[in-house]
Amino acid sequence: MPFVFGTLVTSALALLVAVPLGVGAAIFLSELAPPRISNLLTFVIELLAAIPSVIYGLLGIFILVPFLRQYGEPFLKRTLGFLPLFQGPMYGVGMLAGGLVLAIMVAPFIISFSREILMAVPVEQREAALALGATKWESTWQVVVPFARIGIMASIFLALARALGETMAVTMVIGNDPRISASLFAPGYSIAAVIANEFAEATGDLYLQALVELGLVLFALTIVINGLARIVIISTAQKGSGQ
């Protein structure tokens, strides 16, 4: 159970950070930026998606964790310390670090998918809104984004599946402690991290089977989420071409 808890908390945290960041950047790239800059930035963002996860973990351990321990977590504790989320000792490693690393990792996916979906919104929709006197932002936020809503949701689901299954970066910063705790500062554990840490040294059939079952849980979870997201993408693509 602590493993499932850790997986869910870090993934939720990652989405909480990555969704506004990713969708915001996607809006900028598709609506505001001139095509050349937009293409250049998209290129860079796709490179970001290609960076191996172990590199993110490396930076997580040596940059993010010390930073959180020294500045980030004390700051949160001072300003929001009345919430149970931000209490307890500050180690640096823990759910918060795991969630933040994941957020950085999944943001590129949300951006490149959402950007494509936003670009696919017909120009007429924008023009109609602008012709009615809407400002550019109003046309974007009240017309374009709702039009692309389902597609953006699907991109978020794909990102979620990715965050759930991400192993290395999380293993390196989450603290690997099987406890359920209300505080985001506390070390936790995620399904993928348990498998990574203990599989090679699993002795005995029961131990091994337990780990394989955790793998199955993870597998089923990501398959279901991915499957739903893909169906949504396919059906919206068909609807779009039918119009």
Partner 1 sequence: MRWHTAWRKLVNYTMFSLTGVCALVTVGVLFFILGYLVWHGGSSLSWSFLTHLPTPVGESGGGMANAIVGSAKLLFLASAFGIPIGFLGGVYLAEFGGRTFPFVVRYTADLLNGVPSIVMGIFAYTVVVLPMKHFSTFAGSMALGVMMIPIAVRSTEEALRTVPLMLREGALALGASKWKTIATVVVPAARKAIITGIVLDVARVAGETAPLLFTAFSNRFWSPGWNQPTASLPVMVYTYAISPYDDWHRQAWAAGLVLLTLVLVANVVARLSVSGRSAHL
Which residues in this chain contact partner 1 in the complex, by CB under 8 A?
A: 20-22, 24-25, 27-29, 31-33, 41-48, 50-59, 61-63, 104, 107-108, 111, 135-138, 141, 158, 161-162, 164-168, 172, 192, 195-196, 199-200, 211-212, 215, 218-219, 222-223, 226-227, 230, 234
Of 55 and 83, the one with the shorter C-beta distance to partner 1 is 55
Of 53 and 181, the one with the shorter C-beta distance to partner 1 is 53
Of 167 and 183, the one with the shorter C-beta distance to partner 1 is 167
Q: Report the nearest approach of partner 1 to the CB of residue 182 (Å).
A: 27
Of 94 and 165, the one with the shorter C-beta distance to partner 1 is 165
Sequence-distant (≥ 6) Cβ neighbours of residue 214 within 8 angstroms = 3, 191, 194, 195
- Amino acid code (one letter) for 141: W
Q: Which long-range contacts (CB under 8 A, 24 or more apart) does 138-147 make?
A: 140/27, 140/31, 144/31, 144/118, 145/23, 145/27, 145/118, 147/121
Q: Report the nearest approach of partner 1 to the CB of residue 172 (Å).
A: 6
Burial 105-119, CB ≥16 within 10 A → b, else e: bbbbbbbbbbbbbbe
Q: Report the nearest approach of partner 1 to the CB of residue 81 (Å).
A: 26
Q: Helix 149-165 and helix 205-242: axis angle, to 10°?
A: 160
Residue 31's nearest CA partner among 143, 167, 175 is: 143
Of 42 and 183, the one with the shorter C-beta distance to partner 1 is 42
Residue 217's nearest CA partner among 18, 8, 16, 13 is: 8
Q: Report the nearest approach of partner 1 to the CB of residue 67 (Å).
A: 12
Q: Retrieve residue 182's tokens.
A: 């209300």
Residue 91's nearest CA partner among 27, 153, 179, 155 is: 179
Q: Report the nearest approach of partner 1 to the CB of residue 20 (Å).
A: 7
Sequence-distant (≥ 6) Cβ neighbours of residue 219 within 8 angstroms = none
Of 70 and 135, the one with the shorter C-beta distance to partner 1 is 135
Q: Report the nearest approach of partner 1 to the CB of residue 104 (Å).
A: 6
